[in-house]
Amino acid sequence: MKTDSQPAPQRAAKNWIAVAGAEHARRGRDAAPTGFMQVCHGKRGPLQRVAPGDRVAYYAPALTMGGTDKLQRFVSIGVVQPGEPYGFDTGGGFTPFRRDVAYVAAQEAAIAPLLDVFDFVEDRSRWGYKFRFGLFEVTTADMRRIAVAMDAPLGALALA
């Protein structure tokens, strides 16, 4: 019986935009010793679509979750680390699921100047529609556009 000694090919890295209030996204970015991502009110399912090596950029429509204080900026960007989604007890009976992320140094960047060049914006008048999902996949070109706008190191994100 012939066996294949070649390892299974790894899937290409995917690119994700996650949505959260800036306070929450910054908390994940600044966590020590490793940053984390948490999406869709802590649900596990969406995080299972994300894999180690994938890139994620956080978009914050407002400063606070559900806030009316418009921010409309990308606030963090990084690479998902090895491991599966895990529950984290935040106290008060809430245990959301998270994934570890190595965030890179970057400047927050407004989304407005990018709306006319994003591949995922099909209708400029309805550009915010996809953000309602809390996590969605984008092209590598769009992730590179975000990284450049944030002045993030492209090499550290494997976008060079």
Question: What tens-digit pLDDT sequence spans the chain (160 residues)?
Answer: 555 566 656 789 999 999 999 999 999 999 988 999 999 988 999 999 999 999 999 999 999 877 788 999 999 999 999 999 999 988 888 889 999 999 999 999 999 999 999 999 999 899 998 999 999 999 999 999 999 999 999 999 999 8
Structure tokens at 88: 């984290």
Question: Which residue is associated with the tokens 């009110």?
Answer: 41
- The CA distance from 151 to 105, in Å, is 8
Give how far the C-alpha of residue 11 lies from the chain's centroid of Cα atoms, to the nearest Å. Answer: 18
**What is residue 64's predicted lDDT score, i.e. its pLDDT?**
84
Cis peptide before 113 (omega within 30 of 0): no
The model's pTM is 0.90
**What is residue 11's predicted lDDT score, i.e. its pLDDT?**
82
All structural domains of the chain, each given as residue ranges with its CATH number in brackets, are 15-157 (3.10.590.10)
**What is residue 147's predicted lDDT score, i.e. its pLDDT?**
98
**What is residue 66's predicted lDDT score, i.e. its pLDDT?**
73
- The CA distance from 77 to 17, in Å, is 9
Question: Which residue is associated with the tokens 């929450």?
Answer: 24
- The CA distance from 117 to 107, in Å, is 20
Do 9 and 73 meet the contact criterion of CB atoms below 8 Å apart?
no
**What is residue 41's predicted lDDT score, i.e. its pLDDT?**
87
**What is residue 8's predicted lDDT score, i.e. its pLDDT?**
58
Give how far the C-alpha of residue 90 lies from the chain's centroid of Cα atoms, to the nearest Å. Answer: 21
